Structure 1
Amino acid sequence: MTRKTLIGALVCFPVIGGAIAACGVGSSTDMETPPPQMKLISESQYRNTIADIFGDDIKVVGRFEEVPEVDNLSALGATHVSISSRGYERYFGLATTIAEQLVSDDHWEKVVPCDDEEAGVSEVCLRESISSIGERLLRRPMSTEELDLWVAEIRKSTEALGGEREGVALAIEGMLASPSFLFLTDDTEPDPDGDGIRLTAFAKAHRLSFFLWNSVPDEELLEVARTGEIHSPRVLKAEVSRMVQSDRIQAGAQAFFEDFLNLDRFDTLEKDKVIYPAFNKRAAVDAKEQVLRFLDHQLIEKEEAYPTIFTSKDTFMTRPLGMIYRVPVKKAEGWEPYRFADDDPRAGLLSQVGFTALHSHPGRSSATLRGIAIRELLLCQSVEPAPAAVNFTVVQDTHNPNFRTARERLTQHRTDPACSSCHEFIDPAGLALENFDGMGAFRKTENGARIDTSGELDGYLFSTLPDVEQTIANHPGAPACLVEKAQKFALGREPEGEELAWRSRLEKTFERKGQKFPELLKDIALSEEFYSVGEPARTGIQAASVDEIGGKS
C-alpha cells in the first residue's frame, strides 16, 4: 500500500478536466445572493497557517500553484483556479516535508502532547490530538464518524509503515493534501432566522480571519465559533474590534496591499545589470518590503488618512536601497527610518523604488507603464490594451539625438492615429514620474535634456513632482479605488447587484471617518453583505482516488 493510497482512503479528490476541486461544492447562477465560494489558498495564507498552528520554525519549502490575476487582483483569480495534476504533486510534496518535521523529536510533544513514551499513544490521546489538528487544518470540527475513520487509518498506517509517528505523519499529510485545506470553502447551514442558509460558525470565523489576518483564527475566535456566539452581532463586533487592534492585522493589510499594488511581480523583476548595476536581487526584495513597511507605518501604526501615502516624507531604508536613492544609510544590515528633506521633491508611494522600478522596463523607464499603473491600480480606471502590430521603435530608441526625452519620443509615437487616444489618456500621469529612471533613481535630465514633468490628469494641472504627488492625493478616485479593491479582495469576486450599493455606502463611511484604513477593514468585516451566502447548485462531481490524479507511486 502506497502513501498516496493510504491518504486516498481518507480524502475525497474530485477531478474536473484533470484538475482537483473541493468535494461537493458547486456553483450557482442567476441568484440575488451569491452562492458558496471555493478559492485556492494563497502561498502567504498557507505559510501563515502552518506558522500559526505549528510554529514559525516549520519550514515550508516548495513551489505553489500559480494564481492568475483577475481585475489586477490575485484574490479574484483564486476563485477561478483549480489545482493541476502537477500542482497537486507540489502540494503533496509540501505536505510530506511538513509532516516529517512535525513528528520529529523537536515537535512531537506539541503535535501529540499526551504521548506516554513507555506505553505509547493511547486511543484517547490519539483521538484528542487528531481532533485538535483536524479542527485547525480542515477549518471545522470533526464528526465522531470522521474521527473514527482517521484514527482507524492511522492505526493501519502505523502497522504498514512501522511506527506511530509514521501513522500520525500520514494523517497530517492527508489533511494538508485535502481539498478542505487547499481550498477556502464556504460551509453552510440552514439559517434559523429565515428560509435560506448562512455560513456555519466556523466558516464565518475563517472568512473573517483570512480577510483581517490572512491566516487561521486564534483560540479566542475559535471559541466563539465553537459556541456559535460569533453569529451574535454584539460578539462579532467585539471580535472584529479586537482583531483590527491586534498586531496580526499587519499580515492581513500586507496581503491586501501586496495584491492591490501587484508587488508579487517583484519576485521575477529583473533589470539590465550593465545599465543599473545597483539594482540587484537584494534591492528588489528590499524595494517590495519598503512599500509594505511604509504603508504599515502610515496606515496601521499612525492611522493616517489614506491620501497621506502619496505625500508623506517618511520612509524606511536599507543599504542597498540607499545606493539607489543616493542617501546615507548607517546600518550595513537591516532597516532604519528615513525622512526626505522638505525641499526634496520625493515623497510618498509614487517616489518609491517599489513603484517606479516595478513599472519600468529592464533597461529604461516607462511613462506608459507608470501611467497605466496610476490609472488602473490607484484610480481603478480602465485602460484599453495596445493595438496589435504597433511600431514601438521610436519609443524604445533612447539614444535618438532628435528625441532625447521620453516626452519627445512619445509625442512622436502619438502621430500614429491608432495610438494617440490611449496615450493621451495614459502618458501625462506617467510622464510626471520621468524624474525617475528605470530602477527608480532620481534624475533631472535625460540624455542632457531637462525633463518636463508638467501635465494634466482628469482636470488637475501639475508641473512639478510634488504637484503630481498632491494631485493623486487630492483625486477623488484614489480613496474610491481603495474601497473598491478592498471590497473585491474581501469577497474574492466581483460585486453584483445590491453589493454595488454596499460599496457606495462603504465609500461614504470611509470619507466620513477620515479615510482611515483600519476603519474600512472594520466596516467591511461588520457588514452583513460580507457573510451573505445563497443556495449552491450541485454539479454531480465524482470523487477519484489520489492515484488517478497523481499516478501510481
Structure 2
Amino acid sequence: MGLILTAGCYTGAPAQETDGEPTAGTDGGPGGVTEGGNSDSTPTSGDEPTGGTSDTGGTEIPALPESSRVPRLSHRQWENTIRDLLLLEQTTGKSSLFIGDPISGGYDNNSEKLVVSATLWTDYQRAAEEIAEQVIADPELVALLVPTEGDSDARGRGFIESFGPRAYRRPLTPEEIERHMQVFQEGVALGGSDPVLEGVRVVLQTFLQSPYFLYRVETSDVADDDGRIQLSGFEVASKLSYMLWDTMPDEELFEAAQSGGLDTIAGVEAQAARMLEDQRARDMVASFHYQTLKVDSYSKINKSADKFPEFAEPMRDMMRAETMMFVEDVVFEHEVGDVKTLLSAPYSFVNATLAPLYGAQGEFTDQLVKTDLDPSQRAGVLTQLGYLAANASSTQNDPIHRGVFLNLQILCTGLPPPPNNVPPPPPAMEGESLRELIDRHTGIGTCGEACHGYLINPLGFAMEQYDPLGRWQTMDAGKPVDATGDFNFVQGKQSFNGGAELAKIIASSDEAHRCYVSHLLEYGYARVPKLQDNAEIKRLAEGSRDGLYSIKELIVELTTSDAFRFRAPVEE
C-alpha cells in the first residue's frame, strides 16, 4: 500500500490566525462539545481547524444531559449476561450469529446506535428458544435454577421469584409474577415427560425475549426540586455493572440496591472501587483502550519482504499483546497509573522477536516481559511498535496518518474530513526525504496548509525517527532525519524534537487529558458526550493533568457524577 496524501484545499472557514498561524482554541475543543458537535470533535464544513481547545472546555450548561431510558445491551453484554444469569462457566457464543450492529466510528457499546431490527429480534428469539432447550436438558443446570420441593405450581413460582429478579435486574411486581405463572401453566399443559420443565422452558423463553432483559430499562420518573430524576438503587446497580463489567449485577450489588446502599455517592463509590478489583473490570478497561487506540488495525500490518525481511505475520499478534499488556500494567499495576504514565512511560513488554526492534539488550524468550527502554527514544504507547507500524505503509513511513491519529484520538483536535478527489502524491525528487516530499505537497504555502501545515504534519514528522516497523532510525534518503517541529497547544506553542519529546509534551497537555476523559465518558456512559457534560469533563481532565486522579480514579469519579446517578426528564 502506497503513501496516501490528503492535500486538497480546505474549503471551510479560514483558521484563526496569530502571526500567520492557527491558534489553539475552539468553542468545543477536545473533551468538550459544541452545540451541533459530535463525539470525535470533527467539524463539518464551516468549522475551524485548530490546535486545541479553549480553557473552558466548551460551553458549560448546568442541566443534566438527556440520555436513553432504554439502552439496549450490546452483543458482548448479552453474552456475558446469559452466562452469569444461567450460572454457566463460559459464554454460549450464540451472539456470533446475531446480525451486526450498524456502528461506524465511536464505540461498539454506543446505546444511541444499538437498536433491535426485525432480523435481530428473530436472532434473539432463536437464541432464547435454543438456550431454554439446553437448560431443561441439563440436570445440573436444572438443579441450580429450579426448586425441587413442592407441587408443580410451587416449583414454577419458586423459579419465577428467584430467576425473574435476576433476569430483569430488579424485583418483580406481583402482577409480573402472576403473568409469568400463567405462562408457566400454559407450558405445563403441553405435557411431555416432565411438565414442570416444559413450564420452565416457556417461562425462560419469555424472560430472555423480554425488553426488561434485552434493554437496561430505567423506569424512575419522579423529579426532585432541581428537576433531576434520581435513578433507583437497582437502576444504578445495572448501570454500574454494565459500565464496569459488561454484565448483570452480582449478588453484592443486588444487596446494595435493596438496602439503599446505592442511593448515596459514598455507596456508589465503594461499589465501583470494589468492582474495579475484579477481572471483569480489567476486561472493560482493555476493551476501552483497544478501541480508543485502534489496536484492531494492528492485524492489518504488512511490510515489504524485500525492504523488511525481519517482518513476520506473528508480529501482529505480538504487537497487539504488547500494547494491551502495557495498558493493563499502567492502569492496574503501576504505582501512579495515570494518563501521563500511559502516554510517557519508557517501558513496554517485549520478547525475543520484538526486543531487537527496540534495540533492547538482554536475554529474551517467546514470552513478553516488562522491559525498560531507552527513554530518549521511547515514551508511552505512542512510541510502541504497534501504533508506528500500523500507521505506516508496507514500504515507507506515513507521517500523515500518524499525525491524523494523534490529532483525532489523542488530542481530539477538530479536523475536517479530507476533500474528495485527492490528487496522488508527486514523485520524490532525487535525494528528497519523505518529510521534504510531504512538505512540498501539503505543507505551509500549499492549499493543504490549514490542516496539514499546522496540525497534521508537525505531529507526524515528530515520529520520523521510527521506521515502518517502529525501529529507531536516524537517516532518510541519505540525510539525517528531521523530527523537529512545534504545535499550538492550549498552554502555548510547544517545540519538540522527536517522538519521545512530543509524547511527554502531549502527556502534560490540557488537550490529551480532556480528550482521554471525553473518550472514557463516551465509553463508560455508552453515549456521545453532550454539552451538559463539559463541566464534568473539564473538572476530571484538570485533575488528571495535575496528578490528582489515576485512570482507575477517573472511572470511579464518572460513576459518582450527577449524570450517572440521575437523568434528565425527557418530554414525551
TM bracket (short chain): 0.7 to 0.9
Deviations 1:443-498 (A, max 9, x none): 44456654332222222222233222222223232122222222333333344454
SS at match of 1:457: strand
Pair 1:447–1:241, CA change in 2 (3 A): same
Pair 1:34–1:340, CA change in 2 (3 A): closer
Q: Tell me how far 1:294 sits from its aligned partner.
A: 1.1
CA contact (8 A) 1:250 1:296 kept: yes
Q: How far, CA to CA, are the matches of 1:147 and 1:378 in structure 2?
A: 50
Q: Tell me how far 1:301 sits from its aligned partner.
A: 2.0
Q: How far, CA to CA, are the matches of 1:227 and 1:193 in structure 2?
A: 24
Q: How far, CA to CA, are the matches of 2:312 and 2:321 in structure 1?
A: 14
Instruction: Report the equivalent of 2:332.
Output: 300
Q: Tell me how far 1:197 sits from its aligned partner.
A: 3.2
Pair 1:391–1:502, CA change in 2 (3 A): same
Q: Matches of residues 172-187 of structure 1 in structure 2 within 5 Å? A: 172-187=204-219
One-letter identity of the residue aligned with 1:135: P
Instruction: Report the equivalent of 1:374.
Output: 406
- 1:145 has 2:175 as partner: yes
Residue in structure 1 matching 2:537, options 476, 496, 503 = 503
Q: Matches of residues 3-402 of structure 1 in structure 2 within 5 Å? A: 32-37=63-68, 38-53=70-85, 54-61=87-94, 62-64=96-98, 65-69=100-104, 72-75=106-109, 77-96=110-129, 98-105=131-138, 107-109=140-142, 111-115=144-148, 122-157=152-187, 160=190, 162=192, 165=197, 168-191=200-223, 197-265=229-297, 269=300, 271=302, 274=305, 283-302=315-334, 303-317=336-350, 330-332=364-366, 335-342=367-374, 345-361=377-393, 364-394=396-426, 400=428, 402=430
CA contact (8 A) 2:233 2:263 kept: yes
- 1:410 has 2:438 as partner: yes
Percent identity between the two aligned chains: 23
CA contact (8 A) 1:299 1:305 kept: yes
Pair 1:510–1:312, CA change in 2 (3 A): closer
One-letter identity of the residue aligned with 2:448: C
One-letter identity of the residue aligned with 1:531: R
Q: How far, CA to CA, are the matches of 1:305 and 1:377 in structure 2?
A: 17
Residue in structure 2 matching 1:487, options 521, 526, 535 = 521
CA contact (8 A) 1:406 1:431 kept: no
Q: How far, CA to CA, are the matches of 2:136 and 2:323 in structure 1?
A: 38
SS at match of 1:493: coil
Q: How far, CA to CA, are the matches of 1:440 and 1:173 in structure 2?
A: 52
Count of aligned positions: 497
SS at match of 1:295: helix
Instruction: Report the equivalent of 1:432.
Output: 462
CA contact (8 A) 1:340 1:347 kept: no
One-letter identity of the residue aligned with 1:338: K
Return the TM-score normalized by structure 2: 0.75
CA contact (8 A) 1:111 1:129 kept: no
Instruction: Report the equivalent of 1:8.
Output: none
Structure 2, gaps ≥5 residues long = 1-60
Instruction: Report the equivalent of 1:456.
Output: 486
| CA RMSD after TM alignment | 3.6
Pair 1:277–1:84, CA change in 2 (3 A): farther
Return the TM-score normalized by structure 1: 0.77
Pair 1:411–1:437, CA change in 2 (3 A): same
One-letter identity of the residue aligned with 2:302: K
Pair 1:412–1:132, CA change in 2 (3 A): farther
Q: How far, CA to CA, are the matches of 1:321 and 1:106 in structure 2?
A: 49
Q: Tell me how far 1:272 sits from its aligned partner.
A: 5.5
Q: Tell me how far 1:345 sits from its aligned partner.
A: 1.6
Pair 1:406–1:87, CA change in 2 (3 A): farther
Q: How far, CA to CA, are the matches of 1:32 and 1:184 in structure 2?
A: 23
Q: How far, CA to CA, are the matches of 2:504 and 2:165 in structure 1?
A: 49
SS at match of 1:393: coil
CA contact (8 A) 1:212 1:252 kept: yes
- 1:419 has 2:452 as partner: no
CA contact (8 A) 2:71 2:217 kept: yes
Q: How far, CA to CA, are the matches of 1:199 and 1:177 in structure 2?
A: 24
Q: How far, CA to CA, are the matches of 1:418 and 1:165 in structure 2?
A: 72
CA contact (8 A) 2:227 2:568 kept: no
Pair 1:224–1:450, CA change in 2 (3 A): same
Deviations 1:190-240 (A, max 9, x none): 257777633222111111222233332221111121233321344334323
CA contact (8 A) 1:435 1:453 kept: yes
Q: How far, CA to CA, are the matches of 1:259 and 1:129 in structure 2?
A: 40
One-letter identity of the residue aligned with 1:409: L
CA contact (8 A) 2:346 2:379 kept: yes
* Higher-helix-fraction structure: 1
Q: How far, CA to CA, are the matches of 1:74 and 1:466 in structure 2?
A: 31
Q: How far, CA to CA, are the matches of 2:129 and 2:300 in structure 1?
A: 31
Q: Tell me how far 1:512 sits from its aligned partner.
A: 5.0
Q: How far, CA to CA, are the matches of 2:254 and 2:430 in structure 1?
A: 67
Pair 1:201–1:423, CA change in 2 (3 A): same
One-letter identity of the residue aligned with 1:40: R
Residue in structure 2 matching 1:523, options 535, 540, 557 = 557
Q: How far, CA to CA, are the matches of 1:217 and 1:462 in structure 2?
A: 48
CA contact (8 A) 2:510 2:545 kept: no
Deviates more, 1:163-172 or 1:302-311: 163-172
SS at match of 1:461: strand
- 1:466 has 2:466 as partner: no
Pair 1:156–1:298, CA change in 2 (3 A): same
Structure 1, gaps ≥5 residues long = 1-29, 539-553
SS at match of 1:298: helix
Q: Tell me how far 1:324 sits from its aligned partner.
A: 6.1
SS at match of 1:114: coil
- More contact order relative to length (CA 8 Å, sep ≥ 6): 2
CA contact (8 A) 1:279 1:324 kept: no
Pair 1:156–1:301, CA change in 2 (3 A): same
Q: Tell me how far 1:426 sits from its aligned partner.
A: 0.2
Q: Tell me how far 1:316 sits from its aligned partner.
A: 2.2
Deviates more, 1:94-103 or 1:362-371: 94-103
Q: Tell me how far 1:516 sits from its aligned partner.
A: 1.3
Q: Tell me how far 1:511 sits from its aligned partner.
A: 4.3
Deviations 1:386-433 (A, max 9, x none): 111111333xx6xx5636543133123227843232111101211222
Q: Tell me how far 1:100 sits from its aligned partner.
A: 4.8
